[in-house]
């Protein structure tokens, strides 16, 4: 998939969440249909990666909402809206296609632990925004120093942080969801969260490859 198409897909998905978040089932159908189209357009090469990202991302997000870190305006069936796991899966795939195809990584079992561990600590410390910010900054530096992240992934992580933060801020302003503790509406630690979440998820979606 070309970078321009992947970026456009991410933007369109964001617009759909802003316009139709009040209609949980219709938005789920719209996003699922768009996902099938995107995966088919790319000759189904990312199907397995999509489902892994959807499963892990959806589980982590439901855990965070359950613990009270943030909440959705319209979620009538589970802790998060039904479309959320689909959005998680496609976000990972589109960001991968747009910015990360040239830097390959391998599956790492620890990544699953990092994903759920990071979610748990963020969701339990959410009331202390600055402490979470410092924690994310420290973990990010530690992961690079330890060689878990590659230096070539700095730009990739920054792009994920930019797109993810802009997407979330737009949805927060629109009223789709809100964080329980955020001085500016969008938590100060959110860019670090997207930076790490994407680089960790890159290693998870390669399971079995």
SS (HEC) of the chain: CCHHHHHHHHHHHHHHHHHHCCCHHHHHHHHHHHHHHHHHHCCCCCHHHHHHHHHHHHHHHHHHHHCCCEEECCCCCCCCCCCHHHHHHHHHHHHHHHHHCCCCCCCCHHHHHHHHHHHHHHHHCCCCHHHHHHHHHHHHHHHHHCCCCCHHHHHHHHHHHHHHHHHHHHHHHHCCEEECCCCCCCCCCHHHHHHHHHHHHHHHCCCCC
pLDDT (tens digit, 9 = 90+) per residue, 56-74?
Answer: 999 999 999 999 999 999 9
pLDDT (tens digit, 9 = 90+) per residue, 88-138?
Answer: 999 999 999 999 999 999 999 999 999 999 999 999 999 999 999 999 999
What pLDDT is stored for residue 74 in this prediction? 95
What pLDDT is stored for residue 12 in this prediction? 97
Q: How many CB atoms lie within 10 A of CB 141?
A: 11
Quick check: 209 pLDDT over 90? Answer: no
Q: What is the dihedral of CA 160, 191, 34, 39, to 10 degrees?
A: 30
Supply angle C-alpha 30, 36, 42, rounded to 5: 135
CA-CA distances (angstroms) from residue 57 to 52, 83, 103, 131, 142? Answer: 8, 12, 22, 23, 23
CB distance 88 to 55 below 8 Å: no
What pLDDT is stored for residue 208 in this prediction? 87
For residue 169, name the pLDDT band (cuts at 50, 70, 90).
very high
């Amino acid at each position: 998939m070309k970078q321009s198409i992947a970026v456009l897909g991410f933007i369109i998905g964001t617009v759909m969440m802003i316009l139709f978040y009040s209609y949980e089932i219709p938005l789920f159908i719209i996003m699922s249909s768009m996902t099938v189209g995107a995966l088919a357009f790319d000759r189904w090469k990312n199907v397995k990666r999509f489902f892994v990202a959807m499963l892990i991302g959806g589980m982590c997000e439901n855990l965070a909402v359950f613990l009270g870190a943030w909440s959705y305006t319209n979620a009538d069936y589970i802790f998060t809206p039904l479309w959320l796991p689909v959005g998680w899966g496609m976000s990972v795939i589109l960001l991968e296609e747009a910015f990360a195809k040239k830097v390959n990584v391998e599956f790492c079992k620890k990544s699953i632990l990092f994903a759920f561990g990071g979610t748990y600590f963020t969701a339990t410390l959410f009331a202390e925004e600055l402490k979470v910010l410092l924690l994310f900054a420290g973990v990010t530096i530690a992961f690079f120093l330890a060689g878990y992240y590659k230096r070539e992934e700095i730009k990739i992580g920054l792009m994920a942080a930019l797109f993810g933060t802009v997407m979330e801020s737009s949805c927060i302003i629109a009223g789709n969801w809100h964080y329980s503790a955020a001085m500016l509406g969008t938590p100060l630690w959110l860019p670090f969260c997207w930076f790490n979440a994407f680089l960790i998820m890159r290693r998870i979606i390669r399971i079995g490859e």
